[in-house]
Chain A
Amino acid sequence: MLKNYFKIAFRNLLKNKIYSFINIAGLAIGMAATILIGLWIYDELNYDSYFKEKDTIAQMFQHESSNNVIGTGPAIPRPLEFAMREEFADNFEHIIMSSWNYSRYIGYGDKNINVTGNFMQEGAVDMLEINVLEGDKNSLEHSNVIMLSKEIATTLFGSENALGKMVKINNEHTVKVTAVYEDLPENNSFNGLKYLMPWKFYVATQEWVKNSKDSWGNNSFQMFAQIKDNTTMETVSSKILDIKKRNAPEEAEFNPEIFLFPMKDWYLRGDWENGVQTGGRIENVWLFGIIGTFILLLACINFINLSTARSEKRATEVGIRKSIGSQRGQLIFQFLTESFLIVCLAFAFAVGIVILSLNGFNNLASKTIEFPWASGLFWILAIVFIFITAVLAGSYPALYLSSFNPVSVLKGTFRAGRYSALPRKILVVTQFTISVALIIATLVVMNQIQHSKDRPAGYDKEGLVQIPVMSSEFTGKQDLMREQFIASGGATYMTTTSSPTTSVWSNRGGYTWEGKPEGFQENFAHTTVHYDFVETLGLKLIKGRGFSRKFATDSNAVILNKTAVKYMQIQDPVGKYISAENPDSDMIPLKIIGVVDDMIVQSPYTPVKQAMYVFESYGNISYYNLRLNPNNSVSKNLELIENTFKTNFPNIPFDYQFVDEEYGQKFRSEERVASLARVFTALAIFISCLGLFGLASFVAEQRTKEIGVRKVLGASISQLWILLSKDFITLVVLALVIASPIAYYVMSGWLQKFPYRTSVGWDVFAIACIGALIITLITVSFQAIRAATANPVKSLRTE
């Protein structure tokens, strides 16, 4: 029986090549898109799955409130470690203090490469189950040692044995390579862990770390932990919640709460708003999950529409089968078998499409997804997917076709009923509603990105280069380097800063000033800068002046941004002082010498934070910032700067970043979402049009005789074109009417998450509507005009 069904299905496919192509191609494209989205979602959901103990690993997070706003983050103070070990050690398998992911120069022989990694306490290797390929697994128990990833060991030593080699860290310290570990894959939170050094070494070599032993107010560290199997994250979190408040009463005014943030949430649910976990990348997972389902649905609709539209052609077969004893259930099974066959074929093509497009997709999505040939789970899901699609696409046609009355079919009096085309029309409207809504949504996302890109950055980011200088070799040389860079002709201005231009590395409070409101808990983005800060960055001075060598007192001066002045509620700020709130502090009061326009340093989608730019007096330099000479080409400038750099620091690699490119990185995540959305929207439209094309050709074929008669009676081609196209245009217009308010509602909601946002303008709807109508007309007209220009004699004769 099954063989018979397959046979007839195959022969039907071969007989109706256009319909088969539309059905299979549409389904294959839809399935390919869904598989790609599925692989992407799987990859997202399995971020951090490299770590077998994922469910018991957490990072210590902290809520702190300031002016009734709760901020949440991973930065914790160092003494937390001692309190945690003393009070709650029996809840944990591991408590691991860690630095941030720093880049360091690691040198061996004439090689000196910039590598990112962490300083961590012993136990990190066990907790993260880092696969040590050779050497001492317990290296972190020692001090002057380094563990290297395989990739870095190979880069530094080639085929030589890495173990025992002495390497230079930042040209300052010499340490011994005692272990080499397997490279961590890309899709995990520790993918930047290319080296691991002992926490002990960090404490011993960094004065400020050593001094932070008792400082509960210095949130400059990270702590990871693995809880014991016999407890839960929630239980431990509830125990440790007030640990900081109890141990540091002086911090109680910020209401600090310590809790465990589970590893399984790090990547997908990392957003916090006023102390509440609000989601994160999981929203994109949902978004693309929905888009994937929609695309598959569109492809299934094509299948349903074409199958039912062609029902008259299958009616006789249904009648005959019924007359010789087939029951309705058998016919339903037969048609479902057909749909299963088509879906299987489409799946095979879809796999081909996925393999061919995976590279491009990976580039677009910034992923390293591979086709899961060997994954049993994938193939099981594939079978389930095929079944679901076959049932989804095949059920309605199967029920519809099997319901035909054999008497009228065999008598030849069968005609599809007056309303038989209604479900098809509803499905076409559904298809175009989805497609148009996707077009509108994509346009809004693109507009929002452009809107944020067009937002004035507050400084001139073109022609600005930053050079990381986080090694003690650079200390005290900034004036000399400034002179040399400018003398070389490669730069016109230079300043130094403690953070990159596109980021804030330090936030501080504990200040007071004249007129400070009672109980005000301030928190400023804090950056130390040097002479020519305003000129180098091209900042706009609103009041006062920039730092100047003419004023010796500028060594204790500060420049505020516009938001800070408003935030501090300070009138006529220039000339006033900001001093330490703690009267015992040895901080020299800072004189406000100027106010600059807000510059976007953090997210371009949020308001600019209140910032203070304090004159650098203590050698705290992280970056050289150079304004390139506008009279030279960029490459010439870089050559001059590199030569100057190399002359002074021959052992340090010349690393630099273009500030405008770094700024562009801020849009990367949204741009990636927009690119993916664009591709999938285009696919959705293509699939919908494919279906429309199929239906249009079916209608043209069905009305051949009518067209012939009308032509003979004098109808013009344009009249026939309108006759055949207007039904489809009406459906698409209806879809536009339905899609527009839905898309408006959804996208207005989406925009709410951006404090700095565009609006959903009428132009978006106009573009989507006109676009959809033009695409529809082109799709439908091909068949309409072909039918209208056919020779009527021929069409009438065929009848």
Chain B
Amino acid sequence: MIQITDLEKFYRTEEVQTIALNKLSFGVKEGEFVAIMGPSGCGKSTLLNILGLLDDPDGGSFKFNGEEVSGYNERKRSELRKHNIGFVFQSFNLIDELTVFENVELPLIYTGVKPAERKKKVEAVLEKMQIMHRRNHFPQQLSGGQQQRVAVARAVVNNPKLILADEPTGNLDSTNGNEVMDLLIDLNEAGTTIIMVTHSEHDAKYSHRIIRMLDGQKVTENILA
């Protein structure tokens, strides 16, 4: 599903150039659950942003479903993203001014789903995430675990082929963290590909494969299942 080859990303300031990704190559098959680990600053989040088409690589190739996407313009990237990719962030990133229902509904609005169908889909996913009873609450009225469930609901409501999770349990206690991981496992078992950046060995064990990075390069790769 995903194939990156010699992927490079640099950050330049006036004085120095920092290499965030250094000729990084690996592939992810459809239905896989891959965990990416490594110390802070090793390039994990940069990688995730490039995979999520939020950022451009400076070199190398990035193929999504066999198609080279690294040269896509903003409009094409946005199209690809909204139909295929869902995001889960460490800090949830829900829009404070929207209710639970409205936050989850948002990706459907952007993909042009009709209101009646939107309602059906949002309610279904909220049921699934067991957060239906909070549908009219605003994010700040929810606990961290509940907020992350909403974020996951939002990420999956469009049935994306790929979910990119950036430290999804980083801001949660272990109980809530485990619940979120269970949700991700369920999604993966239902066929969704998941790439998760994490610091937690515990969480990483839920994945099929762990890629460890250092200084923008892959150092090891462990297959767990």
A interface residues with partner B (beta carbon < 8 Å)? 1, 4, 7-8, 11-12, 15, 316-317, 319-328, 330, 406-407, 410-412
Contacts and interface: CB of A to CB of B under 8 A. Distances in A.
Given A327-B74, A407-B54, A4 B109 contact: yes
A8 B81 CA distance: 23
B157 to A, nearest CB: 10
A11 B82 contact: no
Interface string B64-77: 00000000001100
Given A4-B102, A322-B78, 13 more contacts: A1-B110, A8-B98, A319-B93, A320-B94, A320-B95, A321-B110, A324-B154, A325-B81, A325-B82, A325-B107, A326-B78, A327-B78, A410-B89
A12 B97 contact: yes
A417 B86 CA distance: 29
B110 A325 contact: yes
B93 A330 contact: no
Contacts of B107: 324-325
B93 A410 contact: yes
Contacts of A410: 54, 89, 91, 93
Size range of the chain B interface in the assembly? 20 to 34
Contacts of A327: 74-75, 78
19 contacts: A1-B109, A4-B102, A7-B97, A7-B102, A8-B97, A8-B98, A12-B97, A316-B95, A317-B95, A317-B97, A320-B94, A321-B95, A322-B78, A323-B54, A324-B81, A326-B78, A327-B74, A407-B54, A407-B55
A633 B189 CA distance: 106
Interface string B4-48: 000000000000000000000000000000000000000001000
B52 interface: yes
Contacts of B105: 4
A306 to B, nearest CB: 17
A330 B49 CA distance: 21
A328 B74 contact: yes
A325 B78 contact: yes
B94 A324 contact: no
B106 interface: yes
Contacts of A11: 97-98
A407 B74 contact: no
Contacts of B87: 323-324
A325 B45 contact: no
A416 B137 CA distance: 31
A411 B97 contact: no
Given A321-B106, A324-B106, A411 B95 contact: no
A412 B91 contact: yes
Of the candidates B79, B82, B105, the one having the most CB atoms from chain A within 10 angstroms of its own CB is B82
Nearest to A323: B87
Contacts of B45: 411
A326 B95 contact: no
B128 to A, nearest CB: 18
Interface in B108-132: 109-111
Contacts of B78: 322, 325-327
Contacts of B95: 8, 316-317, 320-321
Of the candidates B55, B91, B105, B110, the one having the most CB atoms from chain A within 10 angstroms of its own CB is B110
A15 B139 CA distance: 14
A4 B115 CA distance: 11
Closest 8 CB pairs of A and B: A325-B82, A11-B97, A325-B110, A324-B107, A327-B78, A407-B49, A320-B93, A8-B97
Contacts of A317: 95-97
Contacts of A320: 93-95
A7 B98 contact: yes
A11 B154 CA distance: 20
A15 B97 CA distance: 9
A317 B97 CA distance: 9
Of the candidates B79, B98, B109, the one having the most CB atoms from chain A within 10 angstroms of its own CB is B109
Contacts of B111: 325
Nearest to B91: A412
B156 to A, nearest CB: 12
B64 to A, nearest CB: 15
A795 B114 CA distance: 46
A220 B106 CA distance: 80
Nearest to A411: B45
Contacts of B79: 325
A326 B49 CA distance: 16
Of the candidates A11, A323, A325, the one having the most CB atoms from chain B within 10 angstroms of its own CB is A325
Contacts of A8: 95, 97-98
Contacts of A321: 95, 106, 110
Contact of A322 (B54, B102, B154): B54
A320 B102 CA distance: 13
A410 B166 CA distance: 11
Contacts of B93: 316, 319-320, 323, 410
Of the candidates A7, A8, A407, the one having the most CB atoms from chain B within 10 angstroms of its own CB is A407
Nearest to A320: B93
Nearest to B105: A4
Contacts of A1: 109-110
A324 B54 contact: no
Contacts of A326: 78, 82, 110
A620 to B, nearest CB: 82
Nearest to B75: A327
B195 to A, nearest CB: 15
Contacts of B75: 327
Contacts of B55: 407
Contact of B52 (A7, A323, A411, A412): A323
Nearest to A406: B54
A44 B138 CA distance: 53
B97 A4 contact: no
A7 B96 CA distance: 12
Contacts of B81: 323-325
B82 A324 contact: yes
Contacts of A328: 74
A324 B89 contact: no
Nearest to A409: B93
Nearest to B103: A320
A616 to B, nearest CB: 85
A326 B108 CA distance: 11
A769 to B, nearest CB: 40
Contacts of B96: 317
B121 to A, nearest CB: 14
Contacts of A12: 97
B82 to A, nearest CB: 2
Contacts of A324: 81-82, 86-87, 106-107, 110, 154
Contact of A330 (B91, B102, B110): B110
A327 B96 CA distance: 20
Of the candidates A323, A327, A410, the one having the most CB atoms from chain B within 10 angstroms of its own CB is A323
Nearest to B81: A325
A15 B93 CA distance: 18
Contacts of A323: 52, 54, 81, 87, 93
